[in-house]
């Protein structure tokens, strides 16, 4: 993702482990279980860097510990889904849009 080979796909918020840790764990569309379980592939990155790569991360940031979201790209349309709630689309809710 940081090298531009994949997009942000999943974001999970854990309990922060340090004062500078937001708790967010971010995975690309290509990250396999084997890949993410190798400590050599883990990197600490400033959240602003993530937002520059994936602007949808700005809306996701305030979600609480335990949040588990999927960011879906369909052409120019980007939607955010709550993985813990059967993939419910929460894009409008996070963006402050009303019906």
Q: How does pLDDT run across 17-30, given as a tens digit for each residue? A: 999 999 999 999 99
- Residue 53 CA to residue 6 CA, distance in Å, equals 10
Q: Which among 2, 8, 99, 3 has a CA at the least distance from the CA of 54?
A: 8
Residue 81 belongs to domain spanning = 8-95
pLDDT for 2: 67
87 in a structural domain: yes
3 in a structural domain: no
- Residue 48: which H helix or E strand, with range? helix 47-53
Quote the number of domains for the chain: 1
Whether the predicted pLDDT of 99 surpasses 60 = no
């Amino acid at each position: 993702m940081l090298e531009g080979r994949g997009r942000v796909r999943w974001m999970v918020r854990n309990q922060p482990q340090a004062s500078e840790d937001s708790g967010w764990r971010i995975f690309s569309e290509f990250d396999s279980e084997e890949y993410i379980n190798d400590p050599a592939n883990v990197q600490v990155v400033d959240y602003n860097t993530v937002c520059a790569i994936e602007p949808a991360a700005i809306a996701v940031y305030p979600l609480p510990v335990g949040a588990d979201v999927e960011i879906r790209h369909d052409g120019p349309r980007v939607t955010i889904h709550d993985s813990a709630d059967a993939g419910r689309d929460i894009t409008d809710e996070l963006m402050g849009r009303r019906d």
